[in-house]
A and B are shown apart, each in its own frame.
Chain A
Amino acid sequence: MRNRLFDIFMMGALISGMALCTAVPTEAKTVTDQAGRRVEIPDRPQRIVSLAPSITEIIFDLGQQQLLQGVTTYSNHPPEALQLPKVGSYVRLDLERIVSLRPDLCIAVKDGNPKSSVDRLQALGVPVYALDPRSVDTVLQAILEIGALLDAEQRAASMVRDMRSRIQQVTRRIAAAGHRPRIFFQIGDAPIVSVGTHTFAHELIVLAGGINVAAGPTAYPRFSREQLLGFAPEVIVISSMDRTAGSVEQTRTEWGRWPNVPAVRDGRIHLVDSDLFDRPSPRLVEGLEQLAGFLHPQIFGGSQ
């Protein structure tokens, strides 16, 4: 009887010991993340939860998706990401679900994920590495940092090299263009919302050789129809987050009522996938190439 009790006790100790071993990472190190926080993270994280769609994209591009245990609701690229467990949207994280996935590292974005959620995760014993991508350059930096975290430095470096050369290719060809078209980049229809200076879309517009008529200190300024007609944009890009097919078409038809707007007159209204312009992901370069095609069709040949 005594022996059996002892056996049971030992079994229990063994099981709990095993559970502890898998939960506690082998080696840990303290690093400073892109947001300037000092965090202790495992040397080789094995269970990652991505707290933003852009981070999910980067991890897939680095070929480290097998480490991903969970992603946010709108992580829709690549399509395989849709299969992963969801942990709420990036502004409203479901802490309970994150903890239940037993991550040894969460990767967050400073501007999107609420600071309170990040602090609580940290307090619950889940290390959080925060990125702070504010410009195309810092996105490239973020890719290198994720590469370093996930033991994929080389792949990250070659991705960044490739992106840089594609950006340079665009800017080099743009340099020849004499005229910088005025562009209205519309991200919302009711109310009409555009992009100010401190956005990725603005940076891409400038890189693609255009002038953002909505430039200004407000990140997402709203405009009345009157103001829009006053802007007289030569190119209009509609990047609606509302993906229902009808609504984007409706925005286009709405513009059709104002034929004296140069962009409407010349038929230079384009629809784009907003994910290419508002996510700090590698696909920003795709967005840049699309914009350059819209703004300077004579250089890039054709409308695309």
Chain B
Amino acid sequence: MRASSTTLTRRMLLVAVSLAAVLAAALVLALSSGSGGEGLMRSLTVVLGQGEPNPVLETIVWRIRLPRALLAALAGGALSLGGLVFQALLRNPLAEPYILGVSGGSAIGAIIGILLGLTRFPGVSACAFLGSLATLALIVAMSSGRSVLKKDALLLSGVMVNAFCAAVIMFLVSMTQDARLHNIIFWLMGDLSSADGATVALLAGILLPCFGLVFLFSHAMNLLLMGNDMAQSMGLQLRSVTVLLLVVTSLMVSAVVSYSGLIGFVGLVMPHLLRFVWGSDHRVLVPACILGGGAYLTACDILARVLPDQGEMPAGVITALIGAPLFIFLLRKTRR
């Protein structure tokens, strides 16, 4: 018993250190690339604090790129952790906040908040949270009962919830002929460009405690994966743990959605990749998802900033281009 616990600690440490290094590399790259004209190497010298002072480039690196990179890292960590939790709780490898429509629900809430003229925080975020809770309740209600373990039933419910959410969003956008409309549509595609220092601090204040809380329940998620009866016999308060994790996850997802819009498939790509590399122990996977997901979305956002010749594309475009094909691949694989 003792031996296995030390190997676990060692593995957790190994994962944390290596993925933290990857995340740090992604952040440095994010600080060094952008539309500001200066080359990668010039920016890198500023990041590393070397070379002669260059106030303009310093402003760009520390006050424009840094908040954005941190927002991407936080959002990526939260979304991929969200995916991991949903996959464990619903015992479905294809569950993910975006695919299940939870993101769509919070987007509806957020749009209503924006149209009501509320401020980003707490108004719009609270609306987004309510929206995500409502869709989550809907999904759980639809997929519970006899078909609880049926993978396809859950996914189909998610697809329909998503379609419904998309229709409600279009409805709201069509009903208001508004100058804000253009921004809403861009934001819906998953846009990280609005980041500033205050946003990041606020989001970190919400997300970091959530990360900690989920980590505390990582062993419980292991037990849940063994099946409800097993988990209960191991003394797990099944109902309360499930509810708590679902609420925490939708809080994370709605916080991310209200600041960066709909960024899909991050919660699918990262948990699968990490599970493939590090196995299925959630005590390892939870920190791995937070760090790896952060690195992944940071990297996607670099592409979104650098690929277009003029302006930027929403980061959600990149994550969907990578994630959707993977989803189809996983769907075919799990069917077999």
Contact residues of A with B, CB < 8 Å? 12, 15-16, 19-20, 23, 73, 86, 88-89, 91-92, 94-97, 99-100, 102, 111, 114, 116, 120, 123-125, 218-222
Does B186 lie within 8 Å of A111, measured CB to CB? Answer: no
How far is B195's CA from A95's CA once the two chains are assembled, in angstroms? 11
Q: How many A-B residue pairs have CB under 8 A?
A: 64
Say yes or no: A100-B38 contact (C-beta < 8 A), given A88-B310, A116-B194, A220-B177.
yes
Does A97 lie within 8 Å of B37, measured CB to CB? Answer: yes
Does B311 lie within 8 Å of A23, measured CB to CB? Answer: no
With a CB–CB cut-off of 8 A, which chain A residues contact B37?
Answer: 97, 100
Does B311 lie within 8 Å of A96, measured CB to CB? Answer: no
Does B65 lie within 8 Å of A96, measured CB to CB? Answer: yes
Does A114 lie within 8 Å of B52, measured CB to CB? Answer: no
Contact residues of B with A, CB < 8 Å? 34-38, 52-57, 59-60, 63-65, 177, 179, 182-183, 186, 193-194, 196, 310-312
What are 24 A-B interface contacts by the 8 Å CB criterion? Answer: A15-B52, A19-B54, A19-B55, A73-B311, A88-B310, A91-B182, A91-B183, A92-B193, A94-B35, A94-B311, A94-B312, A96-B34, A96-B64, A96-B65, A97-B35, A97-B37, A99-B56, A99-B60, A100-B38, A100-B57, A111-B179, A114-B183, A120-B196, A218-B177
With a CB–CB cut-off of 8 A, which chain A residues contact B310?
Answer: 73, 86, 88
How far is B183's CA from A12's CA once the two chains are assembled, in angstroms? 44
| 7 tightest Cβ-Cβ pairs between the two chains A and B | A100-B36, A96-B36, A88-B311, A97-B35, A100-B37, A96-B64, A96-B34
Within the complex, the shortest CB–CB distance from A290 to chain B, in Å, comes to 26
Q: A95 is contacted by which of B38, B54, B56, B64 (Cβ under 8 Å)? A: B64
How far is B312's CA from A297's CA once the two chains are assembled, in angstroms? 46
With a CB–CB cut-off of 8 A, which chain B residues contact A16?
Answer: 52-53
With a CB–CB cut-off of 8 A, which chain B residues contact A96?
Answer: 34-36, 60, 64-65
With a CB–CB cut-off of 8 A, which chain B residues contact A19?
Answer: 53-55
Say yes or no: A97-B56 contact (C-beta < 8 A), given A73-B310, A88-B310, A91-B182.
no
With a CB–CB cut-off of 8 A, which chain B residues contact A114?
Answer: 183
Within the complex, the shortest CB–CB distance from B74 to chain A, in Å, comes to 19
Q: Which residue of A lies closest to B120 (CB)?
A: A116
With a CB–CB cut-off of 8 A, which chain B residues contact A15?
Answer: 52
Does A92 lie within 8 Å of B196, measured CB to CB? Answer: no
With a CB–CB cut-off of 8 A, which chain B residues contact A220?
Answer: 177
Q: B177 is contacted by which of A23, A120, A219 (Cβ under 8 Å)? A: A219
How far is B182's CA from A114's CA once the two chains are assembled, in angstroms? 10
Does B182 lie within 8 Å of A99, measured CB to CB? Answer: no
Listed residue (A73, A95, A96, A220) with the most chain B CB atoms within 10 angstroms of its CB: A96
Listed residue (B52, B54, B311) with the most chain A CB atoms within 10 angstroms of its CB: B311
Say yes or no: A97-B52 contact (C-beta < 8 A), given A89-B311, A116-B194.
no
Does A221 lie within 8 Å of B56, measured CB to CB? Answer: no
Listed residue (A73, A94, A111, A220) with the most chain B CB atoms within 10 angstroms of its CB: A94
Does B56 lie within 8 Å of A100, measured CB to CB? Answer: yes
Q: A86-B310, A96-B35, A96-B65 are in contact. List 11 more A-B contacts (CB 8 A).
A: A23-B56, A73-B311, A92-B311, A96-B34, A97-B35, A97-B37, A99-B56, A99-B64, A100-B56, A114-B183, A222-B177
How far is B237's CA from A212's CA once the two chains are assembled, in angstroms? 68
How far is B52's CA from A15's CA once the two chains are assembled, in angstroms? 9
Q: A221 is contacted by which of B64, B177, B179 (Cβ under 8 Å)? A: B177
Does B59 lie within 8 Å of A125, measured CB to CB? Answer: yes
Q: B56 is contacted by which of A12, A73, A102, A116 (Cβ under 8 Å)? A: A102
Within the complex, the shortest CB–CB distance from B59 to chain A, in Å, comes to 6
With a CB–CB cut-off of 8 A, which chain B residues contact A89?
Answer: 311
How far is B54's CA from A124's CA once the two chains are assembled, in angstroms? 15
Within the complex, the shortest CB–CB distance from A215 to chain B, in Å, comes to 15
How far is B312's CA from A73's CA once the two chains are assembled, in angstroms? 12
Q: Which residue of B lies closest to A220 (CB)?
A: B177
With a CB–CB cut-off of 8 A, which chain A residues contact B53?
Answer: 16, 19
With a CB–CB cut-off of 8 A, which chain B residues contact A12?
Answer: 52
How far is B311's CA from A202's CA once the two chains are assembled, in angstroms? 32
Does A97 lie within 8 Å of B194, measured CB to CB? Answer: no
How far is B53's CA from A179's CA once the two chains are assembled, in angstroms? 69
How far is B54's CA from A89's CA once the two chains are assembled, in angstroms? 27
How far is B54's CA from A114's CA once the two chains are assembled, in angstroms? 28
With a CB–CB cut-off of 8 A, which chain A residues contact B64?
Answer: 95-96, 99, 124
